[in-house]
Amino acid sequence: MKVALVQHDVVFEDAAATCEHLRPLVQEAAAKGARLVVLTEMFATGFSMAAERVAEPPERGTGGEFLVGMAAETGAAVCGSLPVREVGVPRPANRFVCAFPDGRTVGYEKVHPFSFAGEDAYYAAGSSVVTFTWEGLAITPFVCYDLRFADMFWSAARQTDCFVVVSNWPAARREHFRALAVARAIENQAYVLATNRVGSGGGLDYAGGTIAIGPFGEVMAEAGEAEETLLVDLEAARVEEVRRAYPFLADRRDFSVLPSAPGERGPTRLLRR
């Protein structure tokens, strides 16, 4: 399956303007054969904490309608995350949404709001991991800060061919973004497709670095600091090949950390489950 990773700028807190900017980029990616088009975290508004202003109804706001409309128009699945508010729910969620050409959508809510920037005060945390299949590829999506939490990826590794991580990762920590994405691919023997925005918004600068990594840890494509679309070809058979040749996942074990006695300091004790 050919996948397009769209590294793009955002008109901060202006979903309509951003979607108009993105429309030709998504159309061009699909015209080049992409069957999955991946945008960024909060792709339409940028990483805004003005939740009361930017959050939208699921699939009926500007960003959601854009994903659904572009999928229907191009025949490709189109995805990114959105600030979504459900009726009757106190706080919105930062939700990854993938729209399919037939109008269906699948969603995943970011489990780890970025408390360092106060995201946890405005957006509710999700509680589960989601895996879906598109054109023979098992895909597990995550959102930005989730990339730092390896155990989430481990929990889904055996059922996943490709992890998709949509991000607004600040330029100041760009090397972390790259290193963590490569590590997640190596340790789980799966593709990792990590998109990041460029430009500035909300007082932060973004330096891109969108990257596609293969299941053996090989960098398949990597973007610079400007708007760019990466096109990569993915095969579930490649994941099977790597895991068969190097059956490392079979040796993975779950552990619990046993607390020390009060006042005791010493080596961490682990209990194998």
Backbone angles phi, psi at 7, to 5 degrees: -95, 115
Collect all residues with Cβ–Cβ distance below 8 Å to 42 and sequence separation of at least 6: 10, 48, 54, 80, 81, 82, 83, 94, 168
Tokens (6 digits) for 163: 């992890």
Q: Is 110 a catalytic residue?
A: yes
Tell me the helices (H) and strands (E) count for the chain, helix number first: 7, 16
Which residue in 19, 79, 98, 110 is the catalytic one?
Answer: 110
Is residue 185 within 8 A of residue 217, CB to CB? The reply is yes
CA distance 90 to 109: 15
Q: 19, 98, 144, 162: which is the annotated catalytic residue? A: 144
* Set 41, 56, 109, 119: catalytic member: 41
CB contact at 8 A, 78 and 26: yes
Count CB neighbours of 268 within 10 A.
Answer: 9
Two structure tokens written together for 69 = 């409309």
Q: What is the CA radius of gyration of the chain?
A: 19
Cite the DSSP H helix spans in the chain.
Answer: 15-31, 51-54, 62-74, 119-122, 150-156, 174-188, 236-245
Euclidean distance between CA atoms 273 and 270, whole angstroms: 9
Our answer to whether residue 41 is catalytic in this structure is yes
Q: Which residues are catalytic?
A: 41, 110, 144
